[in-house]
Amino acid sequence: MNSVFSNKKAIAIFVLPTLLIFCGIVLVPIFVSSYYSLLDWNGVGKGAFIGLDNYKEMFTDTRALNSIKNSMLFAAASIFIQLPISLVLALILASTIKGEGFYRTVYFIPVLISTVVIAQLWSKIYNADYGLLNWLLENIGLANLAQDWLGQKDTALVASFIPTLWQYVGYHMLLMYAGAKSISQDIFEAAKIDGASPIRTAFSITIPLMRPILKVCLVFSVIGAFKVFDLIYVLTGGGPLFTTEVPSTLMYTTIFDTYRYGYGSAISVFIILECLIFTVIINKFFKTE
């Protein structure tokens, strides 16, 4: 086995196909989009080189800034609402409760469902005329709260985040659950002998030892919030009045509705840089000796 891993030529041969595919579907499109972002181009013919004008427009356009703000709110909600819920569920399941396998499976089922299907499902739940949410409010005496959840500026963004919360809580929960289960039981037994309560054990032992998996969940959660597209596109299309628009939906409409390929490419490059920068920040935050 050691001789195989010490053969650098063999390793290079096996890695090369994957490297070529990665370059073809990831790196090349990034560089091409970066080039297009410097052009004033409608997708046909030759574009005019305009330097960083597209980026300047993006950071002065109120619609673009609003979309960036919405993606930041999605990321904040994922960090401060979604991940804590996932952590609590993971710690409860890892404590060896009855029906542990059943609950683990049930919580993970939404992850297996297509995001488009989930968006369609929740659009029916939120429907102002026959939606389950309004029906439930009317039957428990809160009919005054019933409204068009996706059609109101005050509720559309929050209503758009809840399906994401519902879908990915189980995903992060499973990762954290695996991290908690990988901790040696001897540590917990020693803490129990010392008289540590379950809550004290969680905050002093379990969570600190889960730092690596918590970092992974945090990175996935933030990047997923910045890249969210299909859910918003199906639920609201960015409306009403761009209230739920995020950079990815703005990029799509800019390229395919107004045929501004240069400006749309600048937005795509911004999304990539945003994800990279926050990934580096998170890694720095979790860096330990």
Answer whether residue 246 shows pLDDT above 90: yes
Answer whether residue 150 shows pLDDT above 60: yes
pLDDT in the model for residue 2: 55
Rounded to two decimals, the pTM is: 0.89
Answer whether residue 5 shows pLDDT above 70: no
Instruction: Give the list of residues 6+ apart from residue 44 with CB closer than 8 angstroms, or none.
Output: none
> What does pLDDT average to over the chain?
90
The candidate with the shortest Cα–Cα distance to 66, out of 279, 257, 240, 272, is 240
pLDDT > 70 in the chain, percent: 97
Q: How far apart are CA 241 and CA 67, in angstroms?
A: 12
pLDDT in the model for residue 265: 94
Mean pLDDT of 28-47: 90
The tens digit of pLDDT for each residue in 51-99 reads 999 999 999 999 999 999 999 999 999 999 999 999 999 999 888 788 8
pLDDT in the model for residue 289: 47
All domains in the chain, ordered by first residue: 58-285 (1.10.3720.10)
pLDDT in the model for residue 195: 83
Q: How confident is the model at residue 177 (pLDDT cuts 50, 70, 90)?
A: very high
Answer whether residue 37 shows pLDDT above 80: yes
The count of other CB atoms within 10 Å of the CB of residue 264 is 25
Cβ burial, residue 92 (10 Å; 0-12/13-18/19+): middle
Mean pLDDT of 163-169: 92
Q: How confident is the model at residue 101 (pLDDT cuts 50, 70, 90)?
A: confident
Answer whether residue 7 shows pLDDT above 80: no
Residue with tokens 């960090």: 79
Q: How far apart are CA 134 and CA 132, in angstroms?
A: 6
DSSP for 39-78 reads EE--SSSPPEE-TTHHHHHHTT-HHHHHHHHHHHHHHHHI
pLDDT in the model for residue 3: 59
pLDDT in the model for residue 11: 84
Q: How confident is the model at residue 143 (pLDDT cuts 50, 70, 90)?
A: confident
